[in-house]
Amino acid sequence: VAGPQAERRCLRAFPGRSQSPGAADIETRCQPHRKIFGEFSSSSFGDFQGVFDQPQEYIMELTFNQAAKGVNKEFTVNIMDTCERCDGKGNEPGTKVQHCHYCGGSGMETINTGPFVMRSTCRRCSGRGSIITTPCVVCRGAGQAKQKKRVVIPVPAGVEDGQTVRMPVGKREIFVTFRVQKSPVFRRDGADIHSDLFISVAQAILGGTARAQGLYETINVTIPPGIQADQKIRLSGKGIPRINSYGYGDHYIHVKIRVPKRLTSRQQSLILSYAEDETDVEGTVNGVTHTSTGKRSTGN
Ligand SMILES: [Zn+2]
Ligand SMILES: [Zn+2]
């Protein structure tokens, strides 16, 4: 139902760093993007962090070709995750943990408030059931610590500038927004790419072949005789993979005719002869004058 237009609007709606919405928010607003997200996380999103625990966002720079063809890119993140030193237990490895006598190790305490008997989390051990006497030196007993992790982001072929994916890192999830650099050769419009091809006047008139840089290989382009300036040659399926459907976009080659600024004397006389025979010219051609019969002739 949602076409590429809706998709793009959806992505633009993704606000900046300062006011990043909760994950559920993005998912409902960006339905077409489930597929992108899905590729990164085979695990369920059920254990996603609460709203108070905002996921971290990162920016990843990609070259035009990396975005077009996809790439596995290494990336370092600083993320709060289960402390590796104590394995999340909170006590310094090798030290003993005291059984909480207050709650008998259950982590729950019973409070008698007149007619009611309430059960709540043990205040002494915070529900752990045990008391840490020697806290882990890395996380100071919290069981969670900031960690530098190297992750490989499998950037799917066809990502666009500003698109965001999320992926799990340990027990957390991070958002990665892509910044795609411009290409000196290609311009991009969704899955389609555009490039310019400069050809000579003779090539334009007589036709021929020319070599053009393609996204995947060098392409031999057939120029039909009489091609016009700014005419487009469409190379079907030579564009970028479509990210939310099957197949590839197209490569459009925009023909530009390079007009020579200098001519040899032979070329000069040939082009004047050509101009003599030319009809339907609006105005005049330098060096060519009209004869009384309406024919053109070179002016010497
Ligand atoms: Zn620790
Ligand atoms: Zn306790």
Distance 39 CA to ligand 2 centre (A): 43
- Specify whether the CB–CB gap between 291 and 238 falls below 8 A: no
Distance 96 CA to ligand 2 centre (A): 16
Distance 31 CA to ligand 2 centre (A): 45
Distance 205 CA to ligand 1 centre (A): 76
Distance 140 CA to ligand 1 centre (A): 6
Distance 199 CA to ligand 1 centre (A): 67
Token duo for residue 53: 């625990």
Distance 91 CA to ligand 2 centre (A): 16
Instruction: Please identify which residue in the block is written with the tokens 């590796």.
Output: 84
193 strand-pairing partners: 188, 251
Distance 300 CA to ligand 2 centre (A): 111
Q: How far apart are CA 4 and CA 25, in angstroms?
A: 20
The CATH code of the domain at 187-258 is 2.60.260.20
Spell out where the chain has E strands. Answer: 56-62, 71-82, 97-99, 108-113, 116-121, 130-132, 144-155, 164-169, 172-180, 187-189, 192-200, 208-213, 218-223, 232-235, 251-258, 288-290, 296-298
Distance 176 CA to ligand 1 centre (A): 27
Distance 141 CA to ligand 1 centre (A): 6
Looking at residue 16, what is its pLDDT? 36
Fold identical between 97-132 and 187-258? no
Q: Which residues have CB less than 5 Å away from ligand 1 (the ion)?
A: 83, 85-86, 136, 138-139
Ligand nearest to the backbone CA of 80: 1
| Per-domain residue ranges of the chain | 4-75+152-180, 97-132, 187-258
Distance 82 CA to ligand 1 centre (A): 8
Token duo for residue 56: 């971290």
**Type of residue numbered 144:** Q
Instruction: Please identify which residue in the block is written with the tokens 């077409």.
Output: 32
Per-residue pLDDT of the chain (300 residues; tens, 9 = 90+): 334 443 333 333 333 333 333 333 333 333 333 334 434 433 333 333 333 356 678 899 999 999 999 999 988 888 888 888 999 888 999 988 888 888 888 889 888 877 788 888 888 888 888 888 899 999 888 888 888 888 899 999 999 999 998 888 877 788 999 999 999 999 999 999 999 999 999 999 999 999 999 999 999 999 999 999 989 999 999 999 998 889 999 999 999 999 999 999 999 999 999 999 988 888 889 998 765 455 566 655
Looking at residue 298, what is its pLDDT? 61
Looking at residue 19, what is its pLDDT? 34
Token duo for residue 95: 């030290």
Q: Does domain 97-132 correspond to CATH entry 2.10.230.10?
A: yes
